[in-house]
Amino acid sequence: MTAYLLLGCRVVIAVVFAKSALAKLRARPDFASALRVMAVLSPRLTGPAVLGVPIAEAVLALLVWMPRPVVSWAFAAAGGLIAVFAAVLVVLLRRGADVSCPCFGASGVPVGAAHVARNLVLLAVAAAGLLAGAAPDPGGLGPAGVVAVLLVAAFASALIIATDTLVELFSAAH
C-alpha cells in the first residue's frame, strides 16, 4: 500500500512543480513583475528568485523519482519550498495586498484563502511522500493499482493547477 501512496505523491509533486516551473520560465518578466508587486523580497533578490524558484521546482520534480534516500530529501525540500510559498501567501493576505499569484503563469485572480489551502494540500502530499519514501519496504505495485493511482494523481494535479480558474469560476457564479 505504501508503494501506491509513494507513486501518487511522486506524480502530484512532479506534475505540479513541473507545470509551475515551466510557466514561470516561459513568463519570466511577468514573474519578476509579480514578485516586485508582492514586495516580499528585496529588489536585489528578485532577479535570482526569478530564475532560482523555477529551477528549484524543476529539479525537485525530477528528484522525487529517485530512490532512497534522495526521494526523502526531495520530498522534504519540496515541503520546505511549499511552506515558503504558503507563508508568502499568508503575508500577502494579512497585508490586504490585491495581487495575483504567478504560481502557474499570469493570473488575474487575487491571492486568497484558496491559494493557501492549495499549498496546505501540497504540503500534505509532500509530507505523505516523505513518510512513504522513508518506509522500510514500500511493497510491490500491481498494474490495476498503478492505473488507479495515476488517474487519481492526474486528477488531483489538474485540480491543484486549476485553482485560479476554479476560484474565478465559482466567484463569478455569485
CA end-to-end span of the chain, whole Å?
A: 42
What is the per-residue pLDDT across 73-114, written as a single tens digit (0 to 9) for each? 999 999 999 999 999 999 999 998 888 877 887 677 788 898
Average pLDDT over residues 50-72: 96
Residue 139 pLDDT > 80: no
Tell me the residue range of the domain where 149 lies. Answer: 2-172
pLDDT, position 64: 98
Average pLDDT over residues 141-156: 95
Q: Which residue has the cell 485572480?
A: 109
pLDDT, position 174: 52
Domain count, the chain: 1
Average pLDDT over residues 18-22: 96
pLDDT, position 103: 80
- Split at pLDDT 50, 70, 90, the class of 173 is low
- Residue 118 and residue 52: Cα distance in Å, rounded? 22
Contact 102, 111 (CB under 8 A): no
pLDDT, position 172: 60
- Positive or negative: CA dihedral 87, 94, 169, 103: negative
Count Cα neighbours of 13 within 13 Å in the Cβ-side half-sphere: 36
